[in-house]
């Protein structure tokens, strides 16, 4: 154990997360699958429970007291997330099921309306499938072409080749702020400037950034930014698309249904105001309330403190893992260029076998392609094991991971 | 306290088949070829059989994936060579029983090396790994029967 700088009261923090306090296969749980989804603190669990226990009703249009309360909490949550992302106003926050739906919304509305035959959509080989497939669907329907920014051997975008793939045919660029498969942190503000120089729009997949760092959409200067509630300690099934109001105003609706209309007539309808135009049907009200509580929670802990703590744990993890014989870490060498994701392989032990063995010692990691098959192909592997860290992880847990990897080496003779 | 289960999962025989798979080769003369892919984990098996009459004359595979999926298919091909289609069916059924924790299947010597995989039944999320090769086999048997009259 290194001398750890206590940036915050870890035992107290961990006690906020009931799911962390359990044994798995006879060992205290070490939860290192945070890039897939984070555990939930009491603050979020209580907010969701209280909504259902006291205030549950459908939102908008209702006259009765519960409906008023539900609407107020739902719209307060929108305002809370607007300030969380530093949007200019709450109306720029569109509730979605998560990052996936947010990207599909932009692909299915703005892109289908504005991208045509011969146009180009630029993404990268680092992307999560949810930031690849929606664009391929647009390309299929419009005759546009999906182009890729490639990566180097450390899993960093080859930005010196950006001008080869970014040009006047490019209509939209969509990139991960942080890679879920490698942990690479992309210089997204700089890329956004270059994208705007050619007159294209910039969408950022913030699924892995929102949980770890303050997102300031105005400072980034992008056009669309997506986050998922569940990766930032909030509930599943809720997320956000942020876009500038002017864009939202001119965009076509996403799905049709209740809530998103102004007047419905036999021959057509008119749309509700932004943001409701994009929110057909009964929304995930409790989810929104829970996501707002998660934003409160993270800001109360403090993003600076979270970042400092995560850096300590990740630095220690990289040091320790680098000493495990046969272990290879993928992604950037420099800690400044990576977040809390460590993707690795160990000798000829398949990542699934690694994960099963770690699980038998209570250590939860993910194994597979991490919804990033192009990343796996880039590194010539079918799968990796991935340990991903969050604010409640400790250096002791890193030790537990390394010990469990010894068991893997024992079995596989690596 | 969990070592026994882990040891029962990762038997030496399994690791040995994983490292030195039997019948891992192309079979250009195959009469049927089935590609099975598990999109969830990326495990992949291409099973090739040369069926002669109602017998499997040769069985080969190409694959990549975890030790369980690759060892299981390697062990399976050993049992398949020379088996009738009906015997291959029985083998597949008995292996599925083994994966469901069936005790009679665990005692069934006709499963050969495949019995080493009985520990997988205690790891529900890994059962699909062990079954990937058998899924391919069942599909191959189905196709072979459909094509049989044409031969
Ligand atoms: C980088 C990245 N993009 C998009 C997604 C999709 O997020 P969700 O499943 O919450 O829609 C994820 C989640 O795995 C992700 O890590």
The CATH code that applies to domain A45-299 is 3.40.640.10
Buried b (16+ CB within 10 A) or exposed e, A27-61: bebbbbbbbbbbbbbebbbebbeebeeebeebbbe
pLDDT digits (tens, 9 = 90+) for A139-177: 999 999 999 999 999 999 999 999 999 999 999 999 999
Q: Determine which of A353, A364, A370, A414 to mutate to test the interface with B (most B C-beta atoms within 10 Å).
A: A353
Here the ipTM equals 0.88
| Residue of chain A with shortest Cα separation from B7 | A411
CA–CA separation, B67 and B59 (whole Å)? 19
pLDDT digits (tens, 9 = 90+) for A221-231: 999 999 999 99
Q: How many CB atoms lie within 10 A of CB A325?
A: 9
A377 touches chain B (CB under 8 A): no
- Look up tokens 């999109």; give the residue: B39
Q: Which helix (H) or strand (E) holds A343?
A: strand A341-346
The CATH code that applies to domain B2-147 is 3.90.1010.10
> Which residue has a Cα nearest atom 16 of ligand 1?
A180
Name the DSSP class of A331: S
pLDDT of residue A7: 53
Pocket-forming residues, ligand 1, beta carbon under 6 Å: A 35, 98-100, 128, 130-131, 176, 180, 205, 207-208, 228, 239, 371
- The answer to whether A368 contacts B10, with C-beta atoms less than 8 Å apart, is no
Among B131, B105, B102, smallest CA distance to B40 is for B131
CA–CA separation, A45 and A59 (whole Å)? 21
Q: State the number of CA atoms in the 13 A half-sphere of A273 facing the CB.
A: 5
Please say if the pLDDT value at position B26 is more than 60: yes
Pair A109, A260: CB distance under 8 Å? no
> Is residue A233 flagged as an active site residue?
no
Cβ pairs bridging A and B (under 8 Å) = 52
Q: Which helix (H) or strand (E) holds A357?
A: helix A351-360
Shortest distance, CA A128 to any CA of chain B (angstroms): 14
Taking the domains of chain B in order of start, what are their residue ranges?
2-147
The band of A2, judged by pLDDT with boundaries at 50, 70 and 90, is very low
Interval B18-25 mean pLDDT:
96
Rg (CA), chain A: 22
CA–CA separation, A332 and A173 (whole Å)? 23
B53 touches chain A (CB under 8 A): no
Please say if the pLDDT value at position A109 is more than 70: yes
The tokens for B50 are: 């040369």
Which atom belonging to ligand 1 lies closest to the Cα atom of A180?
16
Q: Determine which of A352, A358, A409 to mutate to test the interface with B (most B C-beta atoms within 10 Å).
A: A352
Boundaries of CATH 3.40.640.10 in chain A?
Answer: 45-299
| Residue of chain B with shortest Cα separation from A362 | B2
Buried b (16+ CB within 10 A) or exposed e, A219-235: ebebbbbbbbbbbbbbb
pLDDT of residue B1: 43
CA–CA separation, A309 and A7 (whole Å)? 6
A368 touches chain B (CB under 8 A): yes
Please say if the pLDDT value at position B42 is more than 90: no
pLDDT digits (tens, 9 = 90+) for B93-142: 999 999 999 999 999 999 999 999 999 999 999 999 999 999 999 999 99
The model's pTM is 0.93
Pair B118, B98: CB distance under 8 Å? yes
Kindly name the residue from A57, A280, A307, A371 that is annotated as catalytic.
A371
Among A226, A122, A111, smallest CA distance to A178 is for A226
Name the DSSP class of A51: I
Interval B79-101 mean pLDDT:
96
pLDDT of residue A5: 46
Is the preceding omega at residue A54 within 30 degrees of 0, hence cis? no
Boundaries of CATH 3.90.1150.10 in chain A?
Answer: 10-31+302-412
Which atom belonging to ligand 1 lies closest to the Cα atom of A179?
1
- The answer to whether A382 contacts B44, with C-beta atoms less than 8 Å apart, is yes
Which atom belonging to ligand 1 lies closest to the Cα atom of A239?
10
Regarding the domain delimited by A10-31+302-412, which CATH topology (the fold level of the hierarchy) does it fall under?
Answer: 3.90.1150
CA–CA separation, B70 and B115 (whole Å)? 15
| Residue of chain B with shortest Cα separation from A357 | B6
- The answer to whether B129 contacts A369, with C-beta atoms less than 8 Å apart, is no
Q: How many CB atoms lie within 10 A of CB A23?
A: 9
Q: Determine which of B42, B73, B127, B131 to mutate to test the interface with A (most A C-beta atoms within 10 Å).
A: B42
Please say if the pLDDT value at position A1 is more than 70: no
**B1 contact residues in A (CB cutoff 8 A):** 26
One DSSP character per residue, B59-126 reads EEEEEES-HHHHHHHHHHHHHHTT-BHHHHHHHHHHHHHHHTT-HHHHH-GGGGGGGGGGGGGG-HHH
């Amino acid at each position: 154990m290194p001398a750890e700088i206590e940036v915050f009261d870890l035992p107290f923090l961990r006690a906020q997360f009931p799911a962390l306090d359990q044994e798995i296969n006879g060992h205290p749980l070490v939860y290192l699958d945070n890039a897939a989804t984070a555990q939930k603190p009491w603050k979020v669990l209580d907010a969701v429970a209280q909504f259902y226990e006291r205030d549950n009703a459908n939102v908008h249009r209702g006259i009765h007291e519960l409906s008023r309360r539900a609407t107020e909490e739902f719209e307060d949550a929108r305002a809370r997330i607007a300030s969380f992302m530093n949007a200019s106003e709450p109306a720029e926050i569109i509730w979605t099921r998560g990052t996936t739906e947010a990207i599909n919304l932009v692909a299915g509305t703005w892109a289908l309306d504005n991208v045509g035959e011969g146009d180009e959509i630029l993404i990268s080989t680092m992307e999560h499938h949810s930031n690849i497939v929606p664009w391929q669907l647009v390309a299929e329907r419009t005759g546009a072409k999906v182009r890729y920014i490639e990566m180097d051997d450390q899993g960093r975008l080859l930005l010196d080749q950006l001008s080869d793939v970014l040009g006047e045919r490019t209509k939209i660029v969509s990139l991960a702020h942080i890679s879920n498969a490698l942990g690479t942190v992309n210089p997204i503000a700089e890329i956004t400037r270059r994208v705007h120089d050619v007159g294209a729009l910039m969408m950022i997949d913030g699924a892995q950034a929102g949980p770890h760092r303050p997102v300031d959409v105005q400072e980034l200067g992008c056009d669309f930014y997506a986050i998922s509630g569940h990766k930032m300690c909030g509930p599943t099934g809720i997320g956000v698309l942020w876009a500038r109001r002017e864009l939202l105003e001119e965009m076509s609706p996403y799905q049709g249904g209740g809530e998103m209309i102004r007047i419905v007539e036999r021959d057509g309808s008119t749309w509700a105001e932004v943001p409701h135009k994009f929110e057909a049907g009964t929304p995930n009200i409790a989810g929104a309330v829970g996501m707002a509580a998660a934003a409160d929670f993270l800001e109360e802990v403090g993003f600076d403190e979270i970042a400092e703590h995560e850096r300590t744990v990740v630095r220690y993890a990289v040091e320790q893992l680098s000493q495990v014989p046969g272990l290879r870490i993928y992604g950037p060498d420099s800690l400044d260029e990576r977040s809390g994701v460590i993707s690795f392989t160990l000798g000829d032990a398949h990542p699934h076998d690694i994960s099963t063995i770690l699980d038998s010692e209570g250590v939860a990691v993910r194994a597979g392609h991490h919804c990033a098959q192009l990343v796996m192909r880039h590194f010539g592997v079918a799968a990796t094991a991935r340990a991903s860290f969050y604010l409640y992880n400790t250096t002791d847990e890193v030790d537990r991971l390394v010990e469990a990897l010894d068991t893997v080496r024992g079995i596989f003779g690596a | 306290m969990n070592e026994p289960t882990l040891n029962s999962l990762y038997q030496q025989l399994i690791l040995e088949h994983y490292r030195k798979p039997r019948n891992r080769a192309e079979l250009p003369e195959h009469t049927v070829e089935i590609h099975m892919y598990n999109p969830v984990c990326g495990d992949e098996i291409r099973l090739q059989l040369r069926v002669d009459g109602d017998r499997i004359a040769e069985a080969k595979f190409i694959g990549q994936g975890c030790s369980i999926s690759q060892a299981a298919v390697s062990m399976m091909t050993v049992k398949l060579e020379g088996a009738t289609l009906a015997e291959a069916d029985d083998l597949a059924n008995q292996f599925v029983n083994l994966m469901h924790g069936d005790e009679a299947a665990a005692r069934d010597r006709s499963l050969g090396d495949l019995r080493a995989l009985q520990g997988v039944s205690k790891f529900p999320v890994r059962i699909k790994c062990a079954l990937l090769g058998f899924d391919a086999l069942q599909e191959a048997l189905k196709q072979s029967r459909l094509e049989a009259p044409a031969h």
